[in-house]
Structure 1
Amino acid sequence: MLCQNKFLQVVEDYIRPLTYPVAVKLIKEGEDFPAKTRFPKDVAGRWALCQGISMARRVGWKVGFRREDHSCIVAMMIFGYEEEPEAVKEGEIVYPYYAETAEAGKKTQEMTPRLPLDSVKGIVAAPLAKADFAADVVLVYGNSAQIIRLVQGALYRNGGKIDSSFTGRGACGSEIVVPYQTQECKVIIPGGGERVFAHTADDELVFAIPACKLDEVAFGVETTHKSGIARIPTPFMGMRAEPMYPEKYYEVAKQFGIED
Protein backbone atom coordinates (compact mmCIF):
# COMPACT_ATOMS: atom_id res chain seq x y z
CA MET A 1 0.00 0.00 0.00
CA LEU A 2 2.94 2.34 0.58
CA CYS A 3 3.90 2.14 -3.09
CA GLN A 4 0.32 3.02 -4.04
CA ASN A 5 0.46 6.13 -1.86
CA LYS A 6 3.82 7.20 -3.29
CA PHE A 7 2.63 6.65 -6.85
CA LEU A 8 -0.53 8.66 -6.18
CA GLN A 9 1.47 11.57 -4.78
CA VAL A 10 3.79 11.61 -7.80
CA VAL A 11 0.86 11.51 -10.24
CA GLU A 12 -0.93 14.31 -8.43
CA ASP A 13 2.22 16.45 -8.27
CA TYR A 14 3.69 15.86 -11.71
CA ILE A 15 0.99 14.46 -14.03
CA ARG A 16 -2.11 16.24 -12.70
CA PRO A 17 -4.80 14.20 -14.49
CA LEU A 18 -8.34 15.52 -14.71
CA THR A 19 -9.81 12.38 -13.10
CA TYR A 20 -8.74 10.11 -10.25
CA PRO A 21 -6.19 7.35 -10.92
CA VAL A 22 -8.07 4.06 -10.50
CA ALA A 23 -6.99 1.02 -8.48
CA VAL A 24 -8.31 -2.27 -9.88
CA LYS A 25 -8.24 -5.61 -8.10
CA LEU A 26 -9.30 -9.01 -9.38
CA ILE A 27 -11.22 -10.81 -6.64
CA LYS A 28 -10.38 -14.51 -6.44
CA GLU A 29 -12.50 -17.31 -5.02
CA GLY A 30 -12.40 -17.16 -1.23
CA GLU A 31 -11.70 -13.41 -1.18
CA ASP A 32 -14.26 -10.84 -0.14
CA PHE A 33 -15.06 -7.54 -1.75
CA PRO A 34 -13.85 -4.55 0.29
CA ALA A 35 -16.30 -2.93 2.69
CA LYS A 36 -18.69 -0.33 1.24
CA THR A 37 -18.32 -1.61 -2.31
CA ARG A 38 -21.25 -0.58 -4.50
CA PHE A 39 -22.58 -3.12 -6.99
CA PRO A 40 -24.34 -2.00 -10.18
CA LYS A 41 -27.17 -4.53 -9.81
CA ASP A 42 -27.96 -3.13 -6.36
CA VAL A 43 -27.76 0.51 -7.47
CA ALA A 44 -29.07 0.88 -11.00
CA GLY A 45 -29.00 -2.41 -12.92
CA ARG A 46 -26.33 -4.19 -14.93
CA TRP A 47 -23.45 -2.05 -16.23
CA ALA A 48 -20.61 -2.41 -18.66
CA LEU A 49 -17.32 -2.67 -16.75
CA CYS A 50 -16.07 0.56 -18.33
CA GLN A 51 -18.99 2.38 -16.69
CA GLY A 52 -17.84 1.21 -13.28
CA ILE A 53 -14.30 2.39 -13.94
CA SER A 54 -15.69 5.73 -15.06
CA MET A 55 -17.74 6.03 -11.86
CA ALA A 56 -14.58 5.35 -9.87
CA ARG A 57 -12.43 7.91 -11.67
CA ARG A 58 -15.04 10.64 -12.11
CA VAL A 59 -17.38 10.29 -9.13
CA GLY A 60 -15.13 8.57 -6.60
CA TRP A 61 -17.16 5.40 -6.10
CA LYS A 62 -15.78 2.02 -5.11
CA VAL A 63 -17.52 -0.22 -7.64
CA GLY A 64 -17.60 -4.01 -7.60
CA PHE A 65 -18.59 -6.40 -10.36
CA ARG A 66 -19.89 -9.88 -9.67
CA ARG A 67 -21.11 -12.02 -12.53
CA GLU A 68 -24.64 -10.68 -12.14
CA ASP A 69 -23.48 -7.05 -12.38
CA HIS A 70 -22.14 -7.31 -15.94
CA SER A 71 -24.13 -6.30 -19.00
CA CYS A 72 -21.27 -6.47 -21.53
CA ILE A 73 -20.80 -9.93 -23.02
CA VAL A 74 -17.34 -9.00 -24.28
CA ALA A 75 -16.14 -8.20 -20.74
CA MET A 76 -17.75 -11.39 -19.41
CA MET A 77 -15.67 -13.46 -21.82
CA ILE A 78 -12.50 -11.41 -21.30
CA PHE A 79 -12.64 -11.88 -17.52
CA GLY A 80 -13.40 -15.59 -17.66
CA TYR A 81 -17.02 -15.62 -16.56
CA GLU A 82 -18.04 -17.43 -19.74
CA GLU A 83 -16.40 -19.45 -22.49
CA GLU A 84 -16.52 -17.98 -25.98
CA PRO A 85 -19.40 -19.57 -27.90
CA GLU A 86 -18.43 -21.05 -31.25
CA ALA A 87 -20.02 -18.16 -33.14
CA VAL A 88 -17.87 -15.70 -31.20
CA LYS A 89 -14.71 -17.70 -31.92
CA GLU A 90 -15.61 -17.52 -35.60
CA GLY A 91 -15.70 -13.74 -35.45
CA GLU A 92 -19.45 -13.31 -35.58
CA ILE A 93 -19.64 -10.47 -33.04
CA VAL A 94 -16.73 -8.57 -34.57
CA TYR A 95 -18.21 -8.97 -38.06
CA PRO A 96 -20.00 -7.01 -39.49
CA TYR A 97 -19.44 -4.17 -37.00
CA TYR A 98 -15.64 -3.98 -36.98
CA ALA A 99 -14.69 -6.29 -39.84
CA GLU A 100 -15.57 -6.65 -43.52
CA THR A 101 -15.75 -10.44 -43.31
CA ALA A 102 -16.25 -13.09 -40.65
CA GLU A 103 -12.73 -14.30 -41.38
CA ALA A 104 -11.32 -10.86 -40.57
CA GLY A 105 -13.52 -10.75 -37.49
CA LYS A 106 -12.15 -14.11 -36.36
CA LYS A 107 -8.58 -12.80 -36.58
CA THR A 108 -9.50 -9.81 -34.44
CA GLN A 109 -11.37 -11.97 -31.93
CA GLU A 110 -8.33 -14.24 -31.58
CA MET A 111 -6.32 -11.21 -30.44
CA THR A 112 -8.78 -10.41 -27.64
CA PRO A 113 -7.12 -10.91 -24.22
CA ARG A 114 -8.83 -13.15 -21.71
CA LEU A 115 -8.42 -14.68 -18.28
CA PRO A 116 -8.79 -18.42 -17.74
CA LEU A 117 -12.37 -19.55 -17.18
CA ASP A 118 -13.55 -19.06 -13.58
CA SER A 119 -10.16 -17.72 -12.47
CA VAL A 120 -11.74 -14.69 -10.79
CA LYS A 121 -15.10 -14.20 -9.13
CA GLY A 122 -15.18 -10.42 -9.34
CA ILE A 123 -13.52 -7.09 -10.03
CA VAL A 124 -13.36 -3.99 -7.85
CA ALA A 125 -12.34 -0.50 -8.94
CA ALA A 126 -11.87 2.56 -6.75
CA PRO A 127 -10.04 5.88 -6.78
CA LEU A 128 -6.46 5.10 -5.82
CA ALA A 129 -6.69 7.70 -3.06
CA LYS A 130 -9.56 5.79 -1.43
CA ALA A 131 -8.52 2.22 -2.22
CA ASP A 132 -8.45 0.10 0.94
CA PHE A 133 -7.05 -2.86 -0.98
CA ALA A 134 -3.87 -3.78 -2.81
CA ALA A 135 -4.40 -3.09 -6.49
CA ASP A 136 -3.41 -5.53 -9.21
CA VAL A 137 -3.40 -2.76 -11.81
CA VAL A 138 -3.62 1.03 -11.64
CA LEU A 139 -5.15 3.05 -14.48
CA VAL A 140 -4.36 6.68 -15.21
CA TYR A 141 -6.46 8.49 -17.81
CA GLY A 142 -4.99 11.56 -19.44
CA ASN A 143 -4.17 13.42 -22.61
CA SER A 144 -1.24 12.46 -24.82
CA ALA A 145 1.17 14.84 -23.04
CA GLN A 146 0.34 13.31 -19.64
CA ILE A 147 0.52 9.74 -20.91
CA ILE A 148 3.90 10.26 -22.56
CA ARG A 149 5.25 11.51 -19.23
CA LEU A 150 4.20 8.20 -17.69
CA VAL A 151 5.87 6.35 -20.56
CA GLN A 152 9.08 8.31 -19.91
CA GLY A 153 8.83 7.50 -16.21
CA ALA A 154 8.26 3.81 -16.86
CA LEU A 155 11.35 3.58 -19.07
CA TYR A 156 13.68 5.71 -16.93
CA ARG A 157 15.27 2.93 -14.88
CA ASN A 158 15.62 0.09 -17.37
CA GLY A 159 15.11 1.70 -20.77
CA GLY A 160 13.52 -0.07 -23.71
CA LYS A 161 10.05 0.69 -25.03
CA ILE A 162 6.39 0.27 -24.15
CA ASP A 163 4.73 -2.33 -26.36
CA SER A 164 1.00 -1.89 -26.84
CA SER A 165 -1.50 -3.22 -29.36
CA PHE A 166 -4.96 -2.04 -30.34
CA THR A 167 -8.07 -3.64 -31.81
CA GLY A 168 -10.50 -0.76 -31.29
CA ARG A 169 -12.74 -2.81 -28.98
CA GLY A 170 -12.71 -4.60 -25.63
CA ALA A 171 -10.38 -2.02 -24.13
CA CYS A 172 -11.08 -3.28 -20.59
CA GLY A 173 -9.01 -6.34 -21.47
CA SER A 174 -6.09 -4.23 -22.61
CA GLU A 175 -6.40 -1.99 -19.56
CA ILE A 176 -6.57 -4.74 -16.92
CA VAL A 177 -5.95 -8.26 -18.21
CA VAL A 178 -2.90 -7.54 -20.39
CA PRO A 179 -0.85 -5.63 -17.77
CA TYR A 180 -1.95 -8.16 -15.13
CA GLN A 181 -0.79 -11.12 -17.22
CA THR A 182 2.39 -9.57 -18.63
CA GLN A 183 3.32 -7.51 -15.54
CA GLU A 184 4.27 -4.72 -17.94
CA CYS A 185 2.99 -1.17 -18.38
CA LYS A 186 0.72 -0.55 -21.36
CA VAL A 187 -0.76 2.39 -23.25
CA ILE A 188 -4.39 1.93 -24.28
CA ILE A 189 -6.60 3.75 -26.76
CA PRO A 190 -10.14 3.42 -25.33
CA GLY A 191 -12.54 1.57 -27.60
CA GLY A 192 -15.87 2.65 -29.03
CA GLY A 193 -17.91 1.07 -26.26
CA GLU A 194 -16.01 2.86 -23.52
CA ARG A 195 -16.59 6.18 -25.25
CA VAL A 196 -20.32 5.56 -25.77
CA PHE A 197 -21.18 3.97 -22.41
CA ALA A 198 -18.56 5.37 -20.03
CA HIS A 199 -18.26 8.88 -21.52
CA THR A 200 -14.51 8.58 -22.01
CA ALA A 201 -13.47 11.79 -23.74
CA ASP A 202 -12.18 11.91 -27.30
CA ASP A 203 -8.77 13.18 -26.20
CA GLU A 204 -8.23 10.61 -23.41
CA LEU A 205 -5.73 7.76 -23.43
CA VAL A 206 -5.03 5.28 -20.63
CA PHE A 207 -1.76 4.24 -19.01
CA ALA A 208 -1.99 0.92 -17.15
CA ILE A 209 0.57 0.00 -14.51
CA PRO A 210 0.78 -3.41 -12.81
CA ALA A 211 1.34 -3.22 -9.06
CA CYS A 212 4.94 -4.42 -9.37
CA LYS A 213 5.84 -1.36 -11.49
CA LEU A 214 4.32 1.41 -9.36
CA ASP A 215 7.55 2.27 -7.53
CA GLU A 216 9.56 2.22 -10.74
CA VAL A 217 7.17 4.49 -12.63
CA ALA A 218 6.85 6.92 -9.71
CA PHE A 219 10.63 7.18 -9.40
CA GLY A 220 11.04 7.75 -13.13
CA VAL A 221 8.35 10.41 -13.39
CA GLU A 222 9.68 12.34 -10.40
CA THR A 223 13.31 12.13 -11.52
CA THR A 224 12.68 13.16 -15.12
CA HIS A 225 10.55 16.07 -13.92
CA LYS A 226 13.31 17.32 -11.64
CA SER A 227 15.85 17.02 -14.45
CA GLY A 228 13.78 19.53 -16.41
CA ILE A 229 13.78 17.45 -19.58
CA ALA A 230 9.97 17.09 -19.68
CA ARG A 231 7.14 18.40 -17.54
CA ILE A 232 3.41 18.88 -17.18
CA PRO A 233 2.25 21.46 -18.14
CA THR A 234 4.49 21.39 -21.20
CA PRO A 235 7.02 24.26 -20.94
CA PHE A 236 6.59 25.58 -24.49
CA MET A 237 9.69 27.42 -25.67
CA GLY A 238 7.55 29.97 -27.48
CA MET A 239 6.53 31.48 -24.15
CA ARG A 240 10.11 32.77 -23.79
CA ALA A 241 10.33 34.26 -27.28
CA GLU A 242 9.80 37.94 -28.06
CA PRO A 243 6.44 38.32 -29.84
CA MET A 244 6.05 39.56 -33.41
CA TYR A 245 3.39 42.24 -34.01
CA PRO A 246 1.69 43.91 -36.99
CA GLU A 247 3.82 46.54 -38.73
CA LYS A 248 1.91 49.53 -37.38
CA TYR A 249 2.51 48.35 -33.80
CA TYR A 250 6.23 48.95 -34.31
CA GLU A 251 5.63 52.56 -35.35
CA VAL A 252 3.92 53.16 -32.02
CA ALA A 253 6.59 51.15 -30.22
CA LYS A 254 9.21 53.60 -31.53
CA GLN A 255 7.23 56.44 -30.00
CA PHE A 256 7.23 54.56 -26.69
CA GLY A 257 10.95 53.97 -26.95
CA ILE A 258 10.68 50.18 -26.83
CA GLU A 259 11.68 49.46 -30.44
CA ASP A 260 15.33 48.44 -30.79
Structure 2
Amino acid sequence: METVNSEQINEINEYGKEIIELLQLETSPVAVALVPKGAEIPEGIPRIKGKMKHCEMVDHTRKTKEEFYAVLEDQACKGGAAAMGLGHMPPKLASGEFYYDKLKHFKTLEASKKTLERVPMLEAESTQATLYAPLESVTFVPDVIVIICSPKQMMLLTQAALYNEGGRIETEFAGKQSICSDAVAKPYLTGKMGITVGCTGSRTYTGIQESELTVGIPVKMLKDLVEGLRAIVGKAPAH
Protein backbone atom coordinates (compact mmCIF):
# COMPACT_ATOMS: atom_id res chain seq x y z
CA MET A 1 0.00 0.00 0.00
CA GLU A 2 1.12 3.55 -0.71
CA THR A 3 1.75 6.40 1.75
CA VAL A 4 -1.26 8.61 2.42
CA ASN A 5 -1.45 11.79 0.36
CA SER A 6 -4.56 13.91 1.00
CA GLU A 7 -4.76 15.18 -2.57
CA GLN A 8 -4.49 11.65 -3.90
CA ILE A 9 -7.11 10.41 -1.43
CA ASN A 10 -9.54 13.16 -2.50
CA GLU A 11 -9.04 12.20 -6.14
CA ILE A 12 -9.69 8.54 -5.34
CA ASN A 13 -12.86 9.49 -3.43
CA GLU A 14 -14.12 11.47 -6.43
CA TYR A 15 -13.41 8.53 -8.72
CA GLY A 16 -15.44 6.34 -6.36
CA LYS A 17 -18.41 8.71 -6.55
CA GLU A 18 -18.18 8.84 -10.34
CA ILE A 19 -18.06 5.06 -10.70
CA ILE A 20 -21.22 4.75 -8.58
CA GLU A 21 -23.01 7.40 -10.67
CA LEU A 22 -21.83 6.25 -14.08
CA LEU A 23 -22.58 2.58 -13.46
CA GLN A 24 -25.62 3.30 -11.28
CA LEU A 25 -24.26 0.94 -8.66
CA GLU A 26 -26.53 0.12 -5.72
CA THR A 27 -23.57 -0.57 -3.44
CA SER A 28 -20.09 0.92 -3.09
CA PRO A 29 -16.90 -0.16 -4.84
CA VAL A 30 -14.69 -1.52 -2.04
CA ALA A 31 -11.15 -0.24 -1.54
CA VAL A 32 -8.83 -2.98 -0.27
CA ALA A 33 -5.23 -2.51 0.86
CA LEU A 34 -2.76 -5.14 2.01
CA VAL A 35 -0.47 -3.88 4.77
CA PRO A 36 2.93 -5.57 4.37
CA LYS A 37 4.61 -7.25 7.33
CA GLY A 38 6.49 -4.64 9.32
CA ALA A 39 4.53 -1.66 7.95
CA GLU A 40 2.23 0.42 10.14
CA ILE A 41 -1.54 0.18 10.05
CA PRO A 42 -2.86 3.71 9.38
CA GLU A 43 -3.99 5.57 12.49
CA GLY A 44 -7.66 6.21 13.05
CA ILE A 45 -8.92 3.10 11.26
CA PRO A 46 -10.75 0.79 13.69
CA ARG A 47 -10.20 -2.96 13.85
CA ILE A 48 -13.18 -5.08 12.86
CA LYS A 49 -15.26 -6.36 15.77
CA GLY A 50 -15.57 -10.15 15.62
CA LYS A 51 -14.58 -12.62 12.93
CA MET A 52 -15.71 -12.63 9.31
CA LYS A 53 -14.56 -14.25 6.10
CA HIS A 54 -12.80 -11.88 3.68
CA CYS A 55 -15.68 -12.15 1.20
CA GLU A 56 -18.09 -11.22 4.01
CA MET A 57 -15.92 -8.20 4.86
CA VAL A 58 -16.08 -6.99 1.25
CA ASP A 59 -19.85 -7.53 1.08
CA HIS A 60 -20.30 -5.85 4.47
CA THR A 61 -18.26 -2.82 3.44
CA ARG A 62 -20.04 -2.26 0.12
CA LYS A 63 -23.39 -2.13 1.93
CA THR A 64 -22.61 -0.44 5.27
CA LYS A 65 -19.90 1.99 4.02
CA GLU A 66 -17.77 1.11 7.06
CA GLU A 67 -13.98 1.42 7.06
CA PHE A 68 -11.91 -1.01 9.14
CA TYR A 69 -8.89 -3.28 9.20
CA ALA A 70 -8.54 -6.99 9.95
CA VAL A 71 -5.62 -9.20 10.97
CA LEU A 72 -5.24 -12.96 10.60
CA GLU A 73 -7.19 -13.73 13.80
CA ASP A 74 -10.16 -11.77 12.44
CA GLN A 75 -10.32 -13.79 9.22
CA ALA A 76 -12.80 -16.66 9.63
CA CYS A 77 -11.67 -18.26 6.35
CA LYS A 78 -8.00 -19.20 6.59
CA GLY A 79 -7.89 -20.11 2.90
CA GLY A 80 -8.91 -16.59 1.95
CA ALA A 81 -6.46 -15.15 4.47
CA ALA A 82 -3.66 -17.27 3.00
CA ALA A 83 -4.41 -16.10 -0.53
CA MET A 84 -3.75 -12.53 0.60
CA GLY A 85 -0.54 -13.43 2.44
CA LEU A 86 -1.88 -13.21 5.99
CA GLY A 87 -1.06 -16.80 6.90
CA HIS A 88 -0.49 -20.29 5.54
CA MET A 89 -2.96 -22.27 3.45
CA PRO A 90 -4.62 -24.94 5.64
CA PRO A 91 -3.11 -28.38 4.78
CA LYS A 92 -6.44 -29.97 3.75
CA LEU A 93 -7.08 -27.07 1.38
CA ALA A 94 -3.58 -26.98 -0.08
CA SER A 95 -3.59 -30.74 -0.68
CA GLY A 96 -6.89 -30.57 -2.56
CA GLU A 97 -8.56 -32.81 0.04
CA PHE A 98 -11.20 -30.26 1.07
CA TYR A 99 -12.62 -29.73 -2.44
CA TYR A 100 -12.25 -33.39 -3.40
CA ASP A 101 -13.35 -35.26 -0.27
CA LYS A 102 -15.70 -32.82 1.48
CA LEU A 103 -17.26 -30.77 -1.35
CA LYS A 104 -16.99 -33.48 -4.04
CA HIS A 105 -16.05 -30.84 -6.63
CA PHE A 106 -13.46 -33.01 -8.38
CA LYS A 107 -13.32 -36.52 -9.75
CA THR A 108 -9.86 -37.12 -8.33
CA LEU A 109 -7.68 -35.69 -5.56
CA GLU A 110 -5.06 -34.93 -8.21
CA ALA A 111 -7.50 -32.74 -10.16
CA SER A 112 -8.36 -30.84 -6.99
CA LYS A 113 -4.71 -30.33 -6.05
CA LYS A 114 -3.86 -29.22 -9.60
CA THR A 115 -6.52 -26.50 -9.36
CA LEU A 116 -5.43 -25.30 -5.92
CA GLU A 117 -1.79 -25.13 -7.00
CA ARG A 118 -2.76 -22.53 -9.61
CA VAL A 119 -4.60 -20.23 -7.21
CA PRO A 120 -2.84 -16.82 -7.18
CA MET A 121 -1.43 -16.24 -3.70
CA LEU A 122 0.86 -13.83 -1.93
CA GLU A 123 3.81 -15.22 0.00
CA ALA A 124 2.72 -16.66 3.35
CA GLU A 125 2.96 -14.18 6.23
CA SER A 126 3.98 -11.31 3.91
CA THR A 127 0.84 -9.34 4.91
CA GLN A 128 0.01 -8.28 8.46
CA ALA A 129 -3.42 -6.71 7.89
CA THR A 130 -6.07 -6.01 5.28
CA LEU A 131 -7.89 -2.68 5.07
CA TYR A 132 -11.44 -2.22 3.78
CA ALA A 133 -13.44 0.92 2.95
CA PRO A 134 -16.00 2.26 0.47
CA LEU A 135 -14.03 3.86 -2.37
CA GLU A 136 -15.95 7.14 -2.24
CA SER A 137 -14.89 7.80 1.38
CA VAL A 138 -11.71 5.74 1.83
CA THR A 139 -8.99 7.41 3.94
CA PHE A 140 -6.09 5.23 2.70
CA VAL A 141 -4.63 4.53 -0.74
CA PRO A 142 -5.97 1.11 -1.79
CA ASP A 143 -4.09 -1.56 -3.70
CA VAL A 144 -7.20 -3.04 -5.32
CA ILE A 145 -10.79 -1.92 -5.85
CA VAL A 146 -13.38 -4.70 -5.69
CA ILE A 147 -16.66 -4.07 -7.50
CA ILE A 148 -19.63 -6.44 -7.23
CA CYS A 149 -22.09 -5.70 -10.01
CA SER A 150 -24.39 -6.95 -12.76
CA PRO A 151 -23.10 -8.52 -16.01
CA LYS A 152 -24.08 -5.35 -17.90
CA GLN A 153 -22.13 -3.18 -15.48
CA MET A 154 -19.20 -5.60 -15.87
CA MET A 155 -19.46 -5.16 -19.65
CA LEU A 156 -19.19 -1.38 -19.23
CA LEU A 157 -16.20 -1.75 -16.91
CA THR A 158 -14.54 -4.01 -19.49
CA GLN A 159 -15.17 -1.52 -22.29
CA ALA A 160 -13.91 1.32 -20.10
CA ALA A 161 -10.73 -0.57 -19.23
CA LEU A 162 -9.95 -0.99 -22.93
CA TYR A 163 -10.90 2.56 -23.92
CA ASN A 164 -7.39 4.03 -23.92
CA GLU A 165 -5.22 1.24 -25.28
CA GLY A 166 -7.57 -1.40 -26.66
CA GLY A 167 -6.81 -5.12 -26.62
CA ARG A 168 -8.69 -7.74 -24.67
CA ILE A 169 -9.30 -8.46 -21.00
CA GLU A 170 -7.62 -11.69 -20.00
CA THR A 171 -8.87 -13.32 -16.86
CA GLU A 172 -9.02 -16.79 -15.35
CA PHE A 173 -10.95 -18.39 -12.54
CA ALA A 174 -12.02 -21.77 -11.23
CA GLY A 175 -15.02 -21.02 -9.03
CA LYS A 176 -12.62 -21.37 -6.08
CA GLN A 177 -10.95 -18.74 -3.84
CA SER A 178 -12.87 -16.08 -5.70
CA ILE A 179 -13.14 -12.79 -3.79
CA CYS A 180 -9.80 -13.34 -2.03
CA SER A 181 -7.57 -14.71 -4.78
CA ASP A 182 -9.22 -13.81 -8.09
CA ALA A 183 -10.39 -10.33 -7.05
CA VAL A 184 -7.58 -9.25 -4.70
CA ALA A 185 -4.43 -11.39 -4.86
CA LYS A 186 -4.34 -11.68 -8.66
CA PRO A 187 -4.81 -7.94 -9.41
CA TYR A 188 -2.31 -7.15 -6.64
CA LEU A 189 0.31 -9.51 -8.06
CA THR A 190 -0.24 -8.93 -11.79
CA GLY A 191 -1.48 -5.35 -12.06
CA LYS A 192 -4.38 -6.59 -14.21
CA MET A 193 -8.14 -6.76 -13.71
CA GLY A 194 -9.41 -9.99 -12.18
CA ILE A 195 -12.98 -10.83 -13.20
CA THR A 196 -14.49 -13.74 -11.32
CA VAL A 197 -17.77 -15.64 -11.11
CA GLY A 198 -17.68 -16.23 -7.37
CA CYS A 199 -17.12 -19.44 -5.42
CA THR A 200 -19.14 -21.71 -3.16
CA GLY A 201 -17.98 -19.86 -0.05
CA SER A 202 -18.58 -16.33 -1.30
CA ARG A 203 -22.01 -17.23 -2.63
CA THR A 204 -22.98 -19.07 0.56
CA TYR A 205 -21.80 -16.71 3.28
CA THR A 206 -22.47 -13.29 1.75
CA GLY A 207 -25.37 -11.38 0.25
CA ILE A 208 -23.85 -11.48 -3.23
CA GLN A 209 -26.73 -12.19 -5.59
CA GLU A 210 -26.89 -14.96 -8.19
CA SER A 211 -27.05 -12.22 -10.81
CA GLU A 212 -23.85 -10.49 -9.63
CA LEU A 213 -20.24 -10.88 -10.76
CA THR A 214 -17.07 -9.55 -9.13
CA VAL A 215 -14.03 -7.72 -10.45
CA GLY A 216 -10.80 -6.65 -8.78
CA ILE A 217 -9.13 -3.58 -10.30
CA PRO A 218 -5.56 -2.50 -9.46
CA VAL A 219 -5.55 1.09 -8.22
CA LYS A 220 -3.12 2.12 -10.98
CA MET A 221 -5.95 1.47 -13.49
CA LEU A 222 -8.47 3.65 -11.68
CA LYS A 223 -7.87 6.96 -13.49
CA ASP A 224 -7.98 5.43 -16.98
CA LEU A 225 -11.00 3.32 -16.04
CA VAL A 226 -13.01 6.37 -14.98
CA GLU A 227 -11.91 8.23 -18.12
CA GLY A 228 -13.22 5.31 -20.17
CA LEU A 229 -16.51 5.20 -18.27
CA ARG A 230 -17.03 8.93 -18.82
CA ALA A 231 -16.60 8.47 -22.55
CA ILE A 232 -18.68 5.30 -22.91
CA VAL A 233 -21.47 5.91 -20.40
CA GLY A 234 -21.51 9.70 -20.33
CA LYS A 235 -20.01 12.23 -17.95
CA ALA A 236 -21.26 12.01 -14.39
CA PRO A 237 -23.27 14.94 -13.03
CA ALA A 238 -21.32 17.57 -11.06
CA HIS A 239 -21.13 16.89 -7.32
State the TM bucket, normalised to the shorter chain: 0.7 to 0.9
Q: Counterpart of 1:10 in 2: which secondary structure?
A: helix
What is the root-mean-square deviation in Å for CA atoms of aligned residues?
1.8
Letter in 2 for 1:78: A
Whether the 8 Å contact between 1:75 and 1:170 is mirrored in structure 2 is: yes
Tell me the distance in 2 between the aligned counterparts of 1:8 and 1:175: 17
Aligned match of 2:138: 131
Aligned match of 2:168: 161
Of 179, 196, 200, the residue aligned with 1:192 is 200
Tell me the distance in 2 between the aligned counterparts of 1:201 and 1:122: 27
Tell me the distance in 2 between the aligned counterparts of 1:128 and 1:166: 25
Q: By how many angstroms is 1:185 displaced? A: 1.6
Of 97, 108, 112, the residue aligned with 1:101 is 108
Tell me the distance in 1 between the aligned counterparts of 2:140 and 2:215: 20
Whether the 8 Å contact between 1:17 and 1:140 is mirrored in structure 2 is: no
Of 32, 35, 39, the residue aligned with 1:30 is 39
Aligned match of 1:145: 152
Whether the 8 Å contact between 1:55 and 1:63 is mirrored in structure 2 is: no
Q: Counterpart of 1:30 in 2: which secondary structure?
A: coil
Relative distance call for 1:202 and 1:85 in structure 2 (3 A) is closer
Aligned match of 1:201: 209
Q: By how many angstroms is 1:84 displaced? A: 3.6
Percent identity for Structure 1 against Structure 2: 26
Letter in 1 for 2:72: R
Aligned match of 2:4: none
Aligned match of 1:11: 19
Letter in 1 for 2:152: A
Of 212, 218, 225, the residue aligned with 1:217 is 225
Greater Cα radius of gyration, structure 1 or 2:
1
Q: By how many angstroms is 1:20 displaced? A: 0.7
Q: Which runs of 4 or more aligned residues in structure 1 lie more than 4 Å from their structure 2 counterparts after TM superposition? A: none
Q: Counterpart of 1:83 in 2: which secondary structure?
A: coil
Tell me the distance in 2 between the aligned counterparts of 1:104 and 1:211: 34
Tell me the distance in 2 between the aligned counterparts of 1:108 and 1:135: 29
Alignment length (residue pairs): 223
Confirm or deny that 1:92 pairs with 2:97: yes
1:17-62 per-position Cα deviation (integer Å, ceiling 9, x unaligned) = 11111110111222114414241xxx2x321111111110011111
